[in-house]
């Protein structure tokens, strides 16, 4: 079993002992998503697979927050925000600013991209390289900006 999956299970047990129902519910949802992916694909997920599931769950919650707030349901938006706070500590440290730009420049150099039309060629390797370490929407915007400026 992977380190991250073990950590999630240990945190689930701790939440049970502490009778922290909200935290426990979120961690159980995460464990169910991990199990579902393993059963569907008949594999045991490694840490990067678990991180991709967590990333997806956080993205879903952020989308839901926007919808709930637009609909005036701040109680549900707060619940989603609380779930994000439980999930985020399982992700690796996030890249931002100059670190993110350095990674993007390295991928641009690898694939020899020159113009914003090459963005598609950049995003595939970039997504694999930054999985769980950066917001891919932000990375895409930065890559597009870097490709638009003359080298």
**137: domain CATH number?**
1.10.10.410
Lowest mean pLDDT among 28-37, 55-64, 96-105: 96-105
CATH number, domain containing residue 49: 1.10.1510.10
What SS3 class is residue 131? Answer: coil
Q: Do residue 73 and residue 108 come from a single domain? A: no
Residue-wise over 20-42: b if at least 16 C-beta within 10 A, else e? eeebbebbeebeeebeebeeeee
Three-state SS string over 6-43 comes to HHHHHHHHHHHHCCCHHHHHHHHHHHHHHHHHHHHHCC
Between CA 85 and CA 37 the distance in angstroms is 23
Q: Which domain holds residue 118?
A: 97-148
pTM of the model: 0.76
For residues 107 and 85, membership in a common domain is answered with no
Query: Is 141 found in the same domain as 108?
Result: yes
What is d(CA 125, CA 108) in angstroms, rounded to the nearest whole number? Answer: 9
Find tokens 């500590």 and name the residue. 89
What is the rounded average pLDDT of the residues 3-11? 93
How confident is the model at residue 26, as a pLDDT?
A: 96
Please indicate, yes or no, whether residues 85 and 102 belong to a single structural domain of this protein. no
Distance between CA atoms of residues 121 and 19, nearest Å: 48
Q: By the 8 A CB rule, do 7 and 51 touch?
A: no
The number of folded domains in the chain is 2
CB 147 within 8 A of CB 119: yes
Give percent helix, percent strand, percent coil of the chain, each to the nearest 5. Answer: 80, 0, 20
- Do 105 and 79 have their domain in common? no
Which range (2-16, 21-35, 39-53, 120-134) has the least confidence? 120-134
| Same domain membership, residue 64 and residue 106 | no
């Amino acid at each position: 079993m992977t380190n991250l999956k073990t950590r999630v299970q240990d945190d689930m047990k701790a939440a049970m002992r502490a009778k922290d129902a909200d935290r426990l519910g979120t961690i159980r949802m995460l464990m169910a998503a991990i199990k579902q992916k393993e059963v569907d694909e008949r594999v045991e997920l490694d840490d990067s697979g678990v991180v991709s599931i967590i990333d997806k769950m956080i993205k879903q919650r952020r989308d839901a927050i926007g919808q709930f707030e637009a609909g005036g349901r701040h109680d549900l938006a707060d619940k989603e925000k609380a779930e994000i706070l439980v999930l985020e500590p399982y992700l690796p440290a996030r890249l931002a600013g100059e670190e993110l730009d350095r990674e993007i420049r390295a991928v641009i150099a690898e694939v020899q991209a020159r113009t914003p039309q090459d963005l598609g060629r950049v995003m595939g390797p970039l997504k694999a390289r930054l999985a769980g370490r950066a917001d891919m929407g932000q990375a895409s915007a930065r890559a597009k900006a870097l490709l638009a400026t003359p080298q």
